[in-house]
A and B are shown apart, each in its own frame.
Chain A
Amino acid sequence: MSRQGGRGTESKKMNSELFTLTYGALVTQLCKDYENDEDVNKQLDKMGYNIGVRLIEDFLARSNVGRCHDFRETADVIAKIAFKMYLGITPSITNWSPGGDEFSLILENNPLVDFVELPDNHSTLIYSNLLCGVLRGALEMVQMAVDVKFVQDTLKGDSITEIRMKFIRRIEDNLPAGEE
């Protein structure tokens, strides 16, 4: 069965509520299935990684951006194009480290956490950890190993949500053994 997604440069949009509620259902189910928050965080990260690995292809197909020459360009593309395309928000980039290999994404409003509150017994849960996995997975597919983590989270009482991204190294393509 062929599917024409109507793909062009216009992407099909949808209401963020279904997405937010579905994500909430997913996190709730994970909390029920796993006993502790650490496991849920890990599982969210893994699922995010799987999503990121596929998302990058969709992104590159639709956005026509070329190869990024350095980490700063990558940061710009992530914040201004990717986030806008998928979540409809534009985070700001701040706090560059002196070496240029670490920066922070500041999200004023995170569609994943609309109308969400964390109860006391899940205070170590990183609710939006899926995002970290997505960023890590997507960048790994374009040969960048990064470390992504939440530094501030509105669900835990901070005023903004801050994600810290650190460039670790460029991933070299490994040829299969015997091929060189």
Chain B
Amino acid sequence: MVEHGDIRVVHRGGSKINFRKPVITNDSRFLLCASGESVKVFSTSTEECIHDLRGHTDLVTGVLIKPSNHLQAFSCSADGTVRLWDFTDGILIKTYVIGYPIFSIHASPHHEGVIFVVTPMQGDKRSGELFQLVAVHLPQSGDQLVEARELSAVLTGISSNPAATVFGRGGEYIASANGLQLEVYFFKKQKAYRFSLKEDNKKGGKNTFTCVACHPNDDCIATGHEDGKIRLWRNFNHKKEYTYSTLHWHHSAVSSLSFTPEGTNLLSGGIESVLVQWRYNQENQRDFLPRLGAAITHIAVSPDGALYCTSHSDNKITIIQSCVKVSAVIQGLVKGESVGTDLMIDPRSKSLVLNGKPGHLQFYSLQRDKLLYNLDIVQQEYIHESGLQQFEVVKAAFDASGNWLATVEERKQKGAELELNLKLWAFDEQTQSFVLNTTISAPHEAQITGMCFSHATDSQTTMLVSTSKDGHFKAWQLAAQSQTDADEGPSWSCDFVGAYHGLVPECCSFSADGSLLAVSFQEVVTVWSPASWELLTTLSQPPKAIRNLCFGRLSCSKYLLGTTDSNLLCCWNLLTCSLEWSTSMDVSLLLADPLSENMAAFCCQAGCTDLFVFKPSEPRPLFSQKAVCSGMVTRAVFAPREEMLESCEESSQWLNRSQLYFLTQYMDLMTFTTKTEEERLMASSKQLVIDDSVAMTPFYLLLGKHRQQQQGGDDPQSGVSAERTPLPQGSVAIKELLQTPAHVLPSTSFLCSMFVQSLLISVTDSREESKHAEEEMESEKEEEDSEEEIESSRTRPEQQAAVGGGEAAESAAPAMTKAQVRELRRVKKLDHSWLAGLLDS
């Protein structure tokens, strides 16, 4: 076996953004959320991801704005560290090592220098279930890496759910719910009160606590419960005279509760995917924001109360303006419990296609890590209720050109017949989306096991083959033109029904040129000619059923590969109709790269999955990696690259044309990356980080590129780039001064002398002086830019052109004109007044 050091398995996009409650910054411009092993900073207005704060080595379990500095944020992780970030610049400021896995983080502005983290209980055999809230005194030290050892337990036996622990009014108390018990701990009195509920009430409602929220100004704790009730607790500083009122609208568990910053409203959400806004103290008046798409898992409110944001179970964050309007949706890769369809690549957009929202197919751009759009397949209202059987998309296939999409949806109800629909979608050039062409209800009598299009790109007719558990496989063809109604376009109809000895067909596969169709009937592989529908040959490798079937590509198209349940990988030569070679391995998934001869086989061994990449014609694997991930891999896809990778190393050449993505059993999307690719990515990410807090919108990127090009174009135009002397340090200093955040800068007095020095102009060539001035002007403009982005960028090209023109003229006539001298003076004066203003401030 060959081990390759430079190929790594990485998360690349598609990680959960709904794992923990997102945080909106004080100015409501950014949204921070934990996403896998990093913290993502999104712009609330443009939905773009601005920064990816990387540094944790395990799952990030909580994000929090630092209460004493609203420009910094804490994040905690299961790797036992708390990190402090400057999220506007994406800089890691400090790392506090706690030493125990952390499950959530809490802080209050009234407890300065202390953060509260939830860790598993130590020295307890049942530590898997019991957690404690620990106060961590953050040591004051200038080091990057600080070990925080001053820990003190506050509450023990609490829930690990971060929504179940919350600070009360003014940080005076902390409320924590676990199971059927609510515990309120008063810091001043150091006294805890516990309130328990009965397990069930008479009407069968479950009283288990699910979440807690505290009113910011009043002593009122709102708790959500399993049966959909919300209780508002008051007078909880008495053992006995506590009281609560009950609100009931949700029919299932309340998953999240949040008070608005002024405490005028209470927000609640649950599986109904309706955001409910209760007026505090007038609970009969409620506002609803329905149809949010999926069950609400978290609710966050911006500190100024203008924005609400809800996380949803379909990996989505919705930003809502004052409970009326959905203003932005940040959609991650939608991941359900499982993927019914295979992972597919849309040949047109090169996006990853798989099950998305219930009843939808999602088109997810892997390059941009963004959901492009959802295609509603089922076209039925989804009812948000657990345990309800609804139509699901179970199979989907694209044809080679991406003109046709076939989908299968099914609904299996207990005691009722299976409902099946085969839908064929045509790509509409005008609307740039798929339009339903044909719906075939009940295409088969039983579940469809496999479906594929003929891959031939040159043939006039497209063919679809579907295999079913009813013992038949059917070929569907686009009828040229129906005679009855001419105004309707061509539609699909059944062309051929095939069977083989009453066996159940499992897999089907077309050869690359579309001349052969292989259908596996348990242990027998039948090869058919789609042109004449005659059975050409049968191949058999007893004793177990065929699991995967795959034709070779390009130079290896004469080979047909199959895997069986009895841990066998076979390769048949179709010219000789004989077994070329076979090897014993438990292949869970076999797939062919459409752009090369390569084939990838995922083998499940001892709870781990190994990957082998090979060519059917060569006995040695091109690449193999053991223990790619734990568990079985059942879904994977080769995604073609946008631009080819030039890797000369033999072991990583198979990744040149396409990239291999696969889903682990925990629904994590992983991929393989090479060193060169990583380097390129790092470089590009550095490029992206040059500018400051401007949201990285596509519009900005477009203009930014344009500007860069112009700047590039400037130099040859001026023709002096070669002879340009190193610039005085002034402009750099200004840039540094203005672009680094205030809290990391040294004191002003220290900076001042350096700054003033930099502004003194050494008497050299006058032309250089003017250039210097220009440079300064430019740097000045650059920060204007940050304030009025659009305006300045609109005016820039003209200015640049003017400057460029001026310079050109200058080089032609070395002596300065009077006007130029005057201008230079003006610039200097302007500069100084600006500096004075800065120093005054």
Real complex partners, A and B? no
